Each structure stands twice: as structure tokens, then as C-alpha cells.
């Protein structure tokens, strides 16, 4: 069964992306935001909109598996039988940006921070040469290799920091998806349930300025979310590494905390 979620809200953001594609003085846009905030969705929709306006569209996705292979995310555009790296890269750039004269190509790359080095080089080259417009997405909180940051540093790309949908937009989406009006209480509860929360495990990440002994990624994520104006629930577990399971007692405690949180949130 196909489930269609209409793109909800994001009118301003869609306009910002469109403006970056049309602008003659930038190479495109990088869309940043927290996990699940809607980066891939808006990037794909913006690419489809560009195609419907007459652009040529290409879509590639960075993944942790593709990252282990040279040009992993871009294999669809690599010519088979070519062994020389420079020639291979040139071929990928040419195929990605090929279009009839006068047609703009828009290359969308989802999760660009997960690209391998050669793929990063390809995107850098496309941006530097202005060979196509780019729409890139990056997940906040994930490590971003310096080479990836160089793609948009120097003012060649606009930047859009995507925020979560508001409670009203979230209710509208819920109603549209379910095909009817939704009880405001239920909508509020769902919105609250999906608000950002951080659960930390981590004596192994022992260096951090915020609280000694706390997880570096969780603290960074918490600080970033707070800076963005969100209320963050933070539980700091200082034993047991990533799983918080130094021993059975620790594991039982961690599990109990998680279940208690869910029970309180769901049945309050």
C-alpha cells in the first residue's frame, strides 16, 4: 500500500531553495537539520519542482555503506571498464551534468556528509565549475568531514537550517494523512511525543565541556537543540558505554528509566 504524505508547511523553505536554484551568483543550497526533520523530503520535492520547470534532475544518496566504496553513491553515473581514477571522475562529472544546451541541471545529494572522498571531490568540482546547481542535505550532529564543509564554504552555496514543523503544521499533516480531523489533544500529544529528547550513555566519551563523564554526541546534540529553542529531556547515564549495560543491574535500571519515560508520556 502506498501512503502519500502531502508536503505540509515549508512554503518559505521551498521558496528559499527555488531562489538558490535560480540565482546566478550561487551554486545551490545546503539543507541542514536534525535527524528526521524533513531534509530529504524537501530536497526531493524541490528537485521534482525544478524538473517540472524544465531542469534536468539527478538524485544521489550518501549512505554509510556507499561511503566504503570509491564513488559509491555515484556508481550509476560511472562508466564501466574505466580504471584510471582521473578519467573515471571526469566521466562521472560529465554524466551527472550532461543536458541539452540551455537546460539547467540540478544535482540533489542526500546526506552529503556520508559521501566517500571521490564523490565529495565530484560534488566540489561541480560546485566550483558551476557545472550544475546542487541541493545538498546534511544531518546536524553527525560528523561532517572538512572536505564536505569546503563544498559550501566560501559563499558558493546558500544554507537553509530546517526547523521542525510547528504544532499547527503537524496537526494539518496528521489530518491530511488520516483523511479527517484529529482531536486537538491527540495532535498535541503526538507533537509532544515527537519533540526532541536525548538519552545519553557514555562513560567512554569522557571528554566534554558540558558535564564531565557525559556522552559527547548527546551533549552536543542537546546543546544544539537548546540553542535552537527546543525543550530537551536529557538523562545522563555515566556507566556502561553506548548501550549503558555495564552489568545486569545497570541494564535493568536503564530499561526501567526508558519504560517509565514512555509510560508517563503516553498515559499521562
Ligand X SMILES: Nc1ncnc2c1ncn2[C@@H]1O[C@H](COP(=O)(O)OP(=O)(O)OP(=O)(O)O)[C@@H](O)[C@H]1O
Instruction: Give the binding site for Mg ion (CB under 5 A).
Output: 40
Q: Which is nearer to ligand X, 93 or 174 (CB)?
A: 174
Query: Whole-number minimum distance, CB 17 to ligand X, in Å?
Result: 13
Integer Cα distance of 100 and 56 in angstroms: 9
Q: Which is nearer to ligand X, 38 or 72 (CB)?
A: 38
Task: Annotate the chain with three-state secondary structure.
Answer: CCCCCCCCCCHHHHHHHHHHHHCCCCCEEEEEECCCCCHHHHHHHHHHHHHHCCCEEEEEECCCCHHHCCCHHHHHHCCCCCCCHHHHHHHHHHHHHCCCCCCCEEEEEECHHHCCHHHHHHHHHHHHHCCCEEEEEEECCCCCCHHHHHHHCCCCEEEEECCCCCHHHHHHHHHHHHCCCCCHHHHHHHHHHCCCEEEEECCCCCCCCCCCCCCHHHHHHHHHHHHCCCCCEEEEECCCHHHCCCCHHHHHHHHHHHHHHHHHHHHC
| Residue 199 contact among Mg ion, ligand X, none, beta carbon within 5 to 8 Å by kind | none
Q: Which is nearer to Mg ion, 40 or 163 (CB)?
A: 40
Residues lying near ligand X in the complex (CB under 6 A): 5, 7-10, 33, 35-41, 139, 165, 173
Integer Cα distance of 150 and 131 in angstroms: 17
| C-alpha cell read off for 149 | 564543509
Overall size of the chain counted in residues: 268
Query: Whole-number minimum distance, CB 148 to Mg ion, in Å?
Result: 15
| Residue 9 contact among ligand X, Mg ion, none, beta carbon within 5 to 8 Å by kind | ligand X
Q: Which is nearer to ligand X, 8 or 222 (CB)?
A: 8
Residue closest to Mg ion (Cβ): 40
| Residue 10 contact among ligand X, Mg ion, none, beta carbon within 5 to 8 Å by kind | ligand X
| Residue 95 contact among ligand X, Mg ion, none, beta carbon within 5 to 8 Å by kind | none
Q: Which is nearer to ligand X, 127 or 173 (CB)?
A: 173
Integer Cα distance of 186 and 172 in angstroms: 13
Neighbours of 99 (CB within 10 A): 14
Query: Whole-number minimum distance, CB 169 to ligand X, in Å?
Result: 7
Q: Which is nearer to Mg ion, 40 or 265 (CB)?
A: 40
| Residue 184 contact among Mg ion, ligand X, none, beta carbon within 5 to 8 Å by kind | none
| Residue 41 contact among ligand X, Mg ion, none, beta carbon within 5 to 8 Å by kind | ligand X
Query: Whole-number minimum distance, CB 238 to ligand X, in Å?
Result: 27
Query: Whole-number minimum distance, CB 6 to ligand X, in Å?
Result: 6
Q: Which is nearer to Mg ion, 40 or 75 (CB)?
A: 40
Residue closest to ligand X (Cβ): 38
Query: Whole-number minimum distance, CB 34 to ligand X, in Å?
Result: 7
Amino acid at each position: 500500500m502506498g501512503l502519500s504524505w502531502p508536503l505540509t508547511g515549508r512554503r518559505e523553505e521551498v521558496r528559499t531553495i527555488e531562489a538558490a536554484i535560480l540565482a546566478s551568483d550561487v551554486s545551490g543550497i545546503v539543507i541542514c537539520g536534525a535527524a528526521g526533520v524533513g531534509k530529504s523530503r524537501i530536497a526531493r520535492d524541490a528537485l521534482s519542482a525544478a524538473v517540472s520547470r524544465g531542469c534536468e534532475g539527478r538524485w544521489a544518496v550518501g549512505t554509510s555503506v556507499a561511503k566504503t566504496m570509491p564513488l559509491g553513491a555515484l556508481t550509476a553515473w560511472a562508466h564501466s571498464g574505466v580504471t584510471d581514477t582521473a578519467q573515471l571522475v571526469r566521466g562521472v562529472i560529465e554524466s551527472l551534468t550532461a543536458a541539452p544546451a540551455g537546460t539547467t541541471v540540478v544535482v540533489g545529494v542526500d546526506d552529503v556528509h556520508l559521501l566517500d572522498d571521490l564523490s565529495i571531490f565530484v560534488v566540489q568540482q561541480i560546485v566550483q565549475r558551476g557545472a550544475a546547481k546542487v541541493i545538498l542535505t546534511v544531518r546536524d550532529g553527525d560528523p561532517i568531514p572538512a572536505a564536505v564543509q569546503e563544498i559550501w564554504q566560501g559563499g558558493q552555496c546558500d544554507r537553509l537550517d530546517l526547523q521542525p514543523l510547528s504544532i499547527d503544521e503537524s496537526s494539518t499533516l496528521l489530518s491530511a494523512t488520516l483523511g479527517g480531523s484529529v482531536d486537538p489533544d491527540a495532535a498535541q500529544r503526538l507533537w509532544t511525543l515527537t519533540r526532541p529528547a536525548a538519552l545519553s550513555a557514555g562513560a567512554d566519551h569522557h571528554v566534554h565541556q558540558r558535564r564531565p563523564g557525559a556522552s559527547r554526541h548527546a551533549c552536543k546534540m542537546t546543546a544544539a537543540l537548546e540553542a535552537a529553542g527546543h525543550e530537551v529531556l536529557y538523562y545522563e547515564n555515566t556507566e556502561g558505554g553506548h548501550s549503558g549495560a555495564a552489568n545486569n543491574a545497570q541494564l535493568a535500571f536503564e530499561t526501567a528509566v526508558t519504560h517509565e519515560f514512555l509510560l508517563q508520556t503516553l498515559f499521562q
